[in-house]
């Protein structure tokens, strides 16, 4: 079966969906992206993805106007064309093509690339699994709040994590946990739930945003506050959230077992509540 992608207003064979060699996304990472998960024909947290996409475009001054309805229609067409029931939609918007120069011209036409991938998700139930992670210095640029494709530090760190048979890495700046290498990080201590506050040191995760509303509705105590590596090690439970990982329990950090290597009760509760909400 031929895989179909969308590029610059056209649906094309995936292998033929190419960009110009002077595209600024290719040469400078002058580009933003979003990854939207879908499960059983539900587009997960879609409105939040569109809000964050507009924020990233605005922060980089990339002039691309879109409507939620237009992009949603493209997403559904790609899902149908590729006969998928669950997976991810990858959307990337670059500033566009111009002769190579660090300074960008105004009013150039952005490049738009959208395609799908099949994916199996870690769903709460009998097969709900936790992961091991490592910690690593946060090497990324200072504007982590913008979802750009400037991901080389993430790539190097993730490769190191995989060499150590870990799922991913938790990043540390000035002895404080910022976030995961491609996720937000949460700890539970004495039934209180902690996560890093929103600022330019982390990406405002869409799963994070949805989960916060669930936590507040259910009466858990949420504390948006920096915490240290020592507090991470000494927590009762740890989990990460992301658009592709949803809610993923963390059972071991470096050599430190968390909750004796078992998924915590609050983590399980939140994962169940989140999954029920996204399938409404």
Residue with tokens 């939620």: 68
Chain centroid to CA 11: 25
* pLDDT tier for residue 134 given thresholds of 50, 70 and 90: very high
* pLDDT tier for residue 187 given thresholds of 50, 70 and 90: very high
Half-sphere exposure of 219 (CA within 13 A, CB side): 0
Query: Does 277 score more than 70 pLDDT?
Result: yes
The region of weakest confidence among 1-10, 11-20, 44-53, 185-194 is: 1-10
147 is catalytic: yes
pLDDT value of residue 2: 80
Widest CA span in the chain: 57
pLDDT value of residue 41: 78
The kind and range of the H/E element at 163 are helix 152-163
Given the residues 12, 107, 147, 173, select the one marked as catalytic: 147
pTM for the model stands at 0.95
Among the CATH numbers 3.40.1190.20, 3.30.470.10, 3.40.1110.10, 3.30.930.10, which is that of 4-118? Answer: 3.30.470.10
Q: Give the separation between CA 182 and CA 240, rounded to whole angstroms.
A: 9
pLDDT value of residue 1: 66
CB 85 within 8 A of CB 40: yes
List the domain boundaries for the chain: 4-118, 131-278
Query: Does 97 score more than 70 pLDDT?
Result: yes
Equal fold, 4-118 vs 131-278: no
Q: Give the separation between CA 278 and CA 122, rounded to whole angstroms.
A: 14
Q: Measured on CA atoms in the order 146, 148, 151, 153, is the torsion positive or negative? A: negative
Tokens representing 218 are 């259910």
Query: Does 205 score more than 70 pLDDT?
Result: yes
The kind and range of the H/E element at 6 are strand 4-7
* Domain 131-278, architecture per CATH: Alpha-Beta Barrel (3.20)
pLDDT value of residue 201: 97
Give mean pLDDT, residues 62-76.
Answer: 97
Query: Does 106 score more than 70 pLDDT?
Result: yes
């Amino acid at each position: 079966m031929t895989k179909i992608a969308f590029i610059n207003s056209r649906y094309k064979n995936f292998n033929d969906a190419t960009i110009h060699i002077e595209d600024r996304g290719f040469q400078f990472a002058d580009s933003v992206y979003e990854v939207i998960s879908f499960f059983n024909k539900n587009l997960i947290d879609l409105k939040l993805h569109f809000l964050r996409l507009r924020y990233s475009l605005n922060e980089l001054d990339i002039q691309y106007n879109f409507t939620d309805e237009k992009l949603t229609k493209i997403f559904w067409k790609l899902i149908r064309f590729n006969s998928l029931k669950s997976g991810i939609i990858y959307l990337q918007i670059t500033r566009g093509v111009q002769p190579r120069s660090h300074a960008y011209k105004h009013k150039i036409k952005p490049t738009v690339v959208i395609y799908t991938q099949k994916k199996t998700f870690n769903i709460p139930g009998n097969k709900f699994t936790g992961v091991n992670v490592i910690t690593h210095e946060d090497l990324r640029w200072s504007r982590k709040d913008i979802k750009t494709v400037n991901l080389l530090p993430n790539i190097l760190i993730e490769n190191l994590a995989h060499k150590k048979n870990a799922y991913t890495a938790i990043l540390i700046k000035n002895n404080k946990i910022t976030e995961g290498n491609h996720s937000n990080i949460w700890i539970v201590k004495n039934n209180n739930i902690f996560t890093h506050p929103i600022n330019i040191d982390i990406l405002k995760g869409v799963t994070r945003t949805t989960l916060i509303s669930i936590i507040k509705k259910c009466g858990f105590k949420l504390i948006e506050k920096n915490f240290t590596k020592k507090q991470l090690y000494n927590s009762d439970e740890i989990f990460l959230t992301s658009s592709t990982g949803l809610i993923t329990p963390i059972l071991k950090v470096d050599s430190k077992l968390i909750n004796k290597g078992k998924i915590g009760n609050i983590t399980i509760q939140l994962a169940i509540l989140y999954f029920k909400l996204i399938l409404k």
